[in-house]
Amino acid sequence: MEIVVMPKLGFNMDEGKLISWYKGEGDAISKGEPLFSIETDKTNIDVEAAQDGVVRRLLIDEGETVPVTLPIAIIAGADEDISAAEQEALAQLGGGTAVNGTVPEQSTPEAAAVHEPPRKAPVATPAEKAAGAGDYDYDVIVIGGGPGGYVAAIKAAQLGLHVALAERDRLGGVCLNRGCIPTKAFLRSAESLREVRAAADFGVKGVNASKAALDMKKVQARKADVVSRLVGGVESLLKKNKVDVLRGDADIADAHTVTVSGDSHSTASIIIATGSEIKGLPPGVVRQDDVLTSDTLLELESLPKDIVIIGGGVIGVEFAYFLAVAGVKVSIVEFLDRILPPVDAEIAELVSSDLERLGIDIRTGAKVTSVEGNAVTFEQGGKTESIGAERVLMAVGRAPRLTVDTDRLGISTERGAIVTDEHMRTSVPGIYAIGDVNGKVMLAHTASAEGIVAAENIAGRDVSMRYDAIPSAVYISPEAASVGLSEDDARGRYGDAVRVGRFPIAANGKSMVAGETSGLVKVIVDSKYGEILGAHLYCMHATDMIAEIATAIRAEATAEEVAAAVHPHPTVSEAVMEAFHAALGAAIHC
Ligand code: NAI
């Protein structure tokens, strides 16, 4: 006899909705034949019988939602006595229903409620309230024109709202003007230099690789051109979507009034998207005034001979890579016991070795105590050491930028960040906060996603932000990109129910063709359900390919499904497929 239960098809699955029964009571069924289909919160899945027999009882109706592991059917021999199992199953279902509307006598309204599909509480948005009243200048004013703010403004306008966006500087925020885009333009120049140096290996003759060097004025000019074209693009998108851009310093007078350079504008809702600013060294650390930050380094028209970078996070590592390729002698001084703390430890170790091979001196477990006279002094393993260099770059993180008086407005904050719920609402009705200012995940693409969630909620939809499948990337070469849990976190959370699949990039044909054979693809899956828990790529195109796995996680695709999806040959993406094969048993090509 088989008591068929609502299957748990993932760690996050608590209940399933029965879409249809493929068999009726009394039908014979063979092992492997589909018995029913269910809907999880993202997808529909057919579930097969685990043994041969006759479908004796269907315990729930189509359309019902029940918690996972509760019984939903009984398969047994045609003459087998199932009465005890049936009683037990019905008891577990709380006296539940049966097909054809049969409700056993012991059923109670409370028990029936167990099977009710969960209903989301309706959200009465300020915009909805305002829609009837029509007494505000705008439905939404967004403060800040970075990748959070401008995306929120465009989305809100696309949803039919009357929108303004306040910005005191250039549109595009840190990402376009002083962050993601300019650093990637720098790194692209470094890649060109590397290619020129390696040209002879690929059969290119006549290149004097020893003379190849970066012309920082040209690097700067190219960067500025890319940035201004993208900023211009944001301006035209806002115009096309009829978003009013209010130039100047914005402040919030009350929950329905924003002032921009002294002019008051009333609004039903406000989205705070004021971003983040560069963190200083901890109090007590003496520092000289001309320590570089990511902002000022991006403006240099000539490079120093040597540099000490304080902080081995993403900014520190990306600049270290760029500068080392450009010929600068680089040292990284990192407080923790390894660089790239949020990255999977095994991948961070590989990155660290490759950076050292480039000539970068990496000091970990090193607490900086002073920065004076071009020397960085730090304590490491009980000793005090100093590294002198022409310049020092400080890359010890960013902090949310609070330009509004949160205390006066009653907006809750925690450790300097605005507290938001999954709808991006702050503690003040009608005020939302997205991007770095809420301190959740300080990445441009998270800000944009949060902006869309905030705009949709303001427009009356009921949308939540999910943080479990946000990719992150480090733009060095090879690139490093991750999504989901690191191996350590997955093991910490799920213990032995975790399988790790690895595929070395040295065994990937496309990488060999490109001469980029350093690296690893590593995937972490749950051994019971095949759920994808995390993926960590250190290879060419990693930052583009990670989107495949972010999408798979979001769509609740299993490791088997990604492994079975045909990946084109020859590509680096085959290494991803192979890592999933490895997690499920064995990779084909290693
Ligand atoms: P971070 O928080 O990623 O790393 C800062 C590092 O500095 C940490 O490893 C920390 O342990 C170390 N540190 C702090 N105080 C120190 C001290 N006194 N001495 C030595 N080390 C010290 O910050 P980072 O790299 O400045 O980046 C800021 C933000 O920008 C992050 O949220 C990052 O994710 C984001 N970002 C993202 C990029 C990307 O996605 N590719 C690129 C650049 C930045």
Decide: 127 and 157 in contact? Cβ < 8 Å: no
pLDDT at residue 96 in the model: 43
What CATH number was assigned to the domain covering residues 2-115?
A: 2.40.50.100
Of residues 416, 198, 219, the one with CA closest to residue 322: 219
pLDDT at residue 127 in the model: 47
> Which of ligand 1's atoms lies nearest the C-alpha of 378?
19
Cα separations (Å) of 406 from 126, 389, 457?
A: 19, 41, 22
In short, whether 275's Cβ falls inside 6 Å of ligand 1 is no
In short, whether 474's Cβ falls inside 6 Å of ligand 1 is yes
- Over residues 10-49, the pLDDT tens digits come to 666 778 889 889 999 999 999 888 898 888 766 677 888 8
- The Cα 204–Cα 213 span in angstroms is 18
In short, whether 10's Cβ falls inside 6 Å of ligand 1 is no
- The Cα 313–Cα 315 span in angstroms is 6
What are the residue ranges spanned by the domains of the chain? 2-115, 128-278+399-458, 288-396, 472-583
Q: Which parts of 196-240 are beta strand (E)?
A: none
pLDDT at residue 288 in the model: 65
**pLDDT value at 112 more than 60:** no
Mutate to test the pocket of ligand 1, among 187, 335, 352, 394 (most ligand atoms within 8 A of CB): 335
Cα separations (Å) of 187 from 309, 310, 313, 317?
A: 17, 20, 16, 12
pLDDT at residue 7 in the model: 87
**Cα distance from N-terminal residue to C-terminal residue, the chain:** 43
Catalytic residue among 256, 423, 569, 581: 569
Comparing 2-115 with 128-278+399-458, is the CATH topology the same? no
**pLDDT value at 130 more than 80:** no
In short, whether 447's Cβ falls inside 6 Å of ligand 1 is no
Distance from Cα 183 to the centre of ligand 1, integer Å: 14
In short, whether 507's Cβ falls inside 6 Å of ligand 1 is no
> Which of ligand 1's atoms lies nearest the C-alpha of 367?
19
In short, whether 185's Cβ falls inside 6 Å of ligand 1 is no
**pLDDT value at 141 more than 60:** yes
Q: How confident is the model at residue 120 (pLDDT cuts 50, 70, 90)?
A: very low
Distance from Cα 272 to the centre of ligand 1, integer Å: 23
Assigned CATH topology for domain 128-278+399-458:
FAD/NAD(P)-binding domain (3.50.50)
The residue type of 256 is H
pLDDT at residue 242 in the model: 98
Strand partners, 532: 525
pLDDT at residue 14 in the model: 76
Mutate to test the pocket of ligand 1, among 315, 332, 339, 438 (most ligand atoms within 8 A of CB): 315
Name the residue with the closest Cα to ligand 1, atom 14: 396
In short, whether 333's Cβ falls inside 6 Å of ligand 1 is yes
Name the residue with the closest Cα to ligand 1, atom 26: 397
Task: Give the lowest-confidence range in 67-81, 94-108, 405-419, 479-493.
Answer: 94-108
**pLDDT value at 533 more than 80:** yes
Task: Give the lowest-confidence range in 21-25, 226-230, 334-338, 482-486.
Answer: 21-25
In short, whether 314's Cβ falls inside 6 Å of ligand 1 is yes
In short, whether 443's Cβ falls inside 6 Å of ligand 1 is yes
Of residues 521, 278, 474, 478, the one with CA closest to residue 393: 278
> Which of ligand 1's atoms lies nearest the C-alpha of 179?
43
- Over residues 287-333, the pLDDT tens digits come to 667 899 999 999 999 999 999 999 999 999 999 999 999 999 999 99
Tell me the backbone φ, ψ of residue 557, rounded to 5 degrees. -70, 145
User: What does DSSP assign to residue 117?
Assistant: P
- For 361, residues 6+ apart whose C-beta sits below 8 A from its C-beta are 329, 330, 331, 332, 387
Percent of the chain at pLDDT exceeding 90? 81
pLDDT at residue 110 in the model: 32
- Over residues 91-110, the pLDDT tens digits come to 889 854 444 333 333 333 33
Distance from Cα 230 to the centre of ligand 1, integer Å: 25
Strand partners, 3: 74
Distance from Cα 413 to the centre of ligand 1, integer Å: 22
Of residues 306, 304, 325, the one with CA closest to residue 195: 325
Q: Which of 7-11, 311-315, 374-378 has the highest mean pLDDT?
A: 311-315
Tell me the backbone φ, ψ of residue 388, rounded to 5 degrees. -95, 145
Decide: 322 and 186 in contact? Cβ < 8 Å: yes
Q: How confident is the model at residue 584 (pLDDT cuts 50, 70, 90)?
A: very high
Model confidence pTM above 0.85 = no
pLDDT at residue 41 in the model: 63
The residue type of 509 is G
User: What does DSSP assign to residue 243?
Assistant: P
User: What does DSSP assign to residue 496?
Assistant: T
What CATH number was assigned to the domain covering residues 288-396?
A: 3.50.50.60
**pLDDT value at 8 more than 90:** no
**pLDDT value at 153 more than 70:** yes
Of residues 271, 235, 230, the one with CA closest to residue 252: 271
Residue 569 among the catalytic residues = yes
- The Cα 192–Cα 186 span in angstroms is 10
- The Cα 437–Cα 278 span in angstroms is 12
Q: What is the mean pLDDT of the chain?
A: 91
Percent of the chain at pLDDT exceeding 70? 92
In short, whether 342's Cβ falls inside 6 Å of ligand 1 is no
> Which of ligand 1's atoms lies nearest the C-alpha of 366?
20
Q: How confident is the model at residue 89 (pLDDT cuts 50, 70, 90)?
A: confident
- Over residues 155-212, the pLDDT tens digits come to 999 999 999 999 999 999 999 999 999 999 999 999 999 999 999 999 999 999 999 9
The two three-digit tokens of residue 558, written as one number:
């299993």
Distance from Cα 341 to the centre of ligand 1, integer Å: 9
pLDDT at residue 229 in the model: 97
Domain 472-583 bears CATH identifier 3.40.50.2300: no
- The Cα 332–Cα 317 span in angstroms is 8
Q: Is 2 helix (H, G, I), strand (E, B) or coil?
A: strand
Cα separations (Å) of 455 from 243, 406, 418, 422, 431?
A: 13, 21, 18, 13, 11
**pLDDT value at 131 more than 60:** no
pLDDT at residue 247 in the model: 98
Exposure string of 207-233, with b = 16+ CB inside 10 Å and e = fewer, is: eeeeeeebebeebbeebeebbeebbee
- The Cα 521–Cα 532 span in angstroms is 14
